[in-house]
Amino acid sequence: MGLRLGDEAPNFTAVTTEGEISFHDWKQGSWAVFFSHPADFTPVCTTELGRTAALKGEFEKRNVKAIAVSVDSVEDHHGWAPDIGEVGGTDLNFPIIADPDRKVSELYDMIHPGEGDTSTVRSVFIIDPNNKIRLTLTYPKSVGRNFNEILRVIDALQATDANPIATPADWAPGDRVIAAPTLSTEEVQERFQNVEVRKPYLRFVDAP
């Protein structure tokens, strides 16, 4: 069975472009965006890893570390890194795991045989500081991911961890939020500003 939300993200050791790591030690105390790409020296992947490098400051603001994986060798990753830097406008600044024996990719169910070959699809795992899997995404090889959406979802997860709220469709940071259904409307009135009761179970409030 694949990994589910709420599961502990499995630990592993692996060789990366920044040396050998133990995953849990490497991310200790941080959130992680752990994502797979099909292959080095391919166009969509180059844009994705370049974008991730360019977003380093945004990830740092949110206490997030990024790490990528593919079934290529660490020598290939090092050979490809200058292209990532050139395309993203920033040197490669996060580790890429070399997984030629597919140990990590299989552990995280990132190889989907129906997708044509034995390389990884575009999986994303957002993992919290307690190593719990909080979000998964799976994109096909031909479609690059939206890294603004990855940042948005991290913002939503961090906001909903900090307060009894949820985020509505298309929410963006700064938008109003929804009071948790577990609170009575009286509690919502006491706790939040500018409460709008659209339905007894749908109470929009200002983000705390």
The residues of the shown chain that bind ligand BEZ, judged by CB under 6 A, are: 38-39, 42-45, 141-142
Nearer to ligand BEZ, 141 or 145 (CB): 141
Distance CA 182, CA 168 (A): 16
Catalytic residue among 9, 45, 84, 98: 45
Nearer to ligand BEZ, 50 or 95 (CB): 50
Minimum Å gap between C-beta 179 and ligand BEZ is 42
Residue holding tokens 């179970």?
201
Both tokens assigned to 50: 């370049």
Distance CA 100, CA 90 (A): 26
Residue holding tokens 């129906």?
114
* Identity of residue 113: P
Q: What is the CA radius of gyration of the chain?
A: 19
Minimum Å gap between C-beta 42 and ligand BEZ is 3
Nearer to ligand BEZ, 116 or 173 (CB): 116
Minimum Å gap between C-beta 71 and ligand BEZ is 11
Minimum Å gap between C-beta 37 and ligand BEZ is 7
Query: What residues contact 52, with CB distance under 8 A and at least 6 apart?
Result: 33, 35, 66, 68, 88, 94, 147
| Distances from the Cα of 176 to the Cα of 109, 157, 189, 200, angstroms | 36, 15, 15, 17
Nearer to ligand BEZ, 27 or 141 (CB): 141
The verdict on whether 109 is a catalytic residue reads no
**Catalytic center residues:** 45
